[in-house]
Amino acid sequence: MARKLTQLELLLELEPIAEQNVHRHLSMAKEWHPHEYVPWDEGRNFAEMNGTDWELGQSRLSEVARAAMITNLLTEDNLPSYHREIAENFSRDGAWGTWVGRWTAEENRHGIVIRDYLVVTRAVDPVALENARMAHMTGGYNPMKLIRDGGGSVEDLLADTGFLHSVAYVTFQELATRVSHRNTGKVCDDPIADRMLQRIALDENLHMIFYRNMCGAALDLVPDQALQAITDIITHFQMPGAGMPDWRRNGVLMAKHGIYDLRQHLEEVVMPVVRKWNIFERNDFGPHGDANRNRLGEFLEKLQGDCVRFEEQRDRALAREAARRNLVGAKG
């Protein structure tokens, strides 16, 4: 049985590949500026500056679009916690340090541009938004809690390297965030919002590719060890926004209206990456890796069934809502 590598050994072994992927990222990343995606001519003062405070009638976004925008922005707001997490599990030196700094700077633009858009267009209540930001950032991002809340064992996580779990998690999380931003843009019914969120989604996709390549390299280097982390993350995955104010309500709205639901998670996030890594075709796993591959296969099969059940429940709920609207319209 191959010896497990420590976190330091993994970082040293993978640093040349990290350097290649940093250069690849920098060659592909497009320069853009948040101020160019905000309709500043729509801005006006609030009451504190002798203007008018926010009220719901000022928003052009639907309830679903507002919920998705707020969820996406509060997720981006927790960047200090995410930065700390990858800085501690990667490194602040060499290619790793370059990546951590660059990734953080690029991610910061996302929160800047979404907030500017929402405040300038009066799309959401800015006071409620700020209160939610304060609450969410004060709570921070705790991957241990996410795994525990998802049914996973913190002890299992601690028994392995934080790097492998971290790089596996952000691979799927970045892709999930890309899907959420892209689909949020579609429901906003505003070409400015759609253009802005498509721009953000392009960033998230490039970030995902970096992490996917690094996790794939780790899978080649320590197959059994890496698959343990990948399986842990997939089977207990939760988005980093879990626990934010109104998380459950907004998440239900987003899932019900096709912004981010269980089938999108399976077919647009999990399975493309699993196929890219050839997890079910590889022949380099030992007994421990094979056991985890079986565990993963059983979970994915169950997830497929969960998708069908969710969609049946969603269709019934949407049909009931449509019937109620028709009844109200007929009475009106």
- 132 part of a folded domain: yes
Which pLDDT belongs to residue 158? 47
For the cut 80, the answer to whether the pLDDT of residue 150 exceeds it is no
What is the average pLDDT across 20-42?
Answer: 97
CA distances from 178 to 202, 282, 310 (A): 7, 28, 22
What is the average pLDDT across 280-295?
Answer: 96
- 240 part of a folded domain: yes
CA 174/CA 180 separation, integer angstroms: 10
**Residue 199's domain is classified under what CATH number?**
1.10.620.20
CA atoms within 13 A on the CB side of 213: 18
Of the pLDDT bands very low, low, confident and very high (cuts 50, 70, 90), residue 1 is low
Domain count, the chain: 1
- 103 part of a folded domain: yes
State pTM to two decimals.
0.91
- 229 part of a folded domain: yes
| 234-269 pLDDT per residue, tens | 999 998 888 899 999 999 999 999 999 999 999 999
- 157 part of a folded domain: yes
Which pLDDT belongs to residue 171? 97
CA 280/CA 63 separation, integer angstroms: 41
> How many residues can be counted in the chain?
332
Mean pLDDT computed over every residue of the chain: 92
Which pLDDT belongs to residue 143? 66
What is the average pLDDT across 274-296?
Answer: 97
φ, ψ of residue 12 to 5 degrees: the values are -65, -40
Of the pLDDT bands very low, low, confident and very high (cuts 50, 70, 90), residue 320 is confident
For the cut 80, the answer to whether the pLDDT of residue 169 exceeds it is yes
For the cut 60, the answer to whether the pLDDT of residue 159 exceeds it is no
Q: List, as residue ranges, the binding site for Fe cation.
A: 76, 107, 110, 174, 204, 207
CB 150 within 8 A of CB 238: yes
CA 165/CA 326 separation, integer angstroms: 49
- 1 part of a folded domain: no
Positive or negative CA dihedral for 140, 144, 145, 150?
positive
Of the pLDDT bands very low, low, confident and very high (cuts 50, 70, 90), residue 161 is low
CA 254/CA 258 separation, integer angstroms: 6
- 299 part of a folded domain: yes
Alpha-helical segments (H) within 121-153: 126-139, 143-149
Q: Residue 279 belongs to what domain range?
A: 7-330
- 286 part of a folded domain: yes
Gyration radius of the chain over CA positions:
21
Which pLDDT belongs to residue 318? 80
Q: List, as residue ranges, the binding site.
A: 76, 107, 110, 174, 204, 207
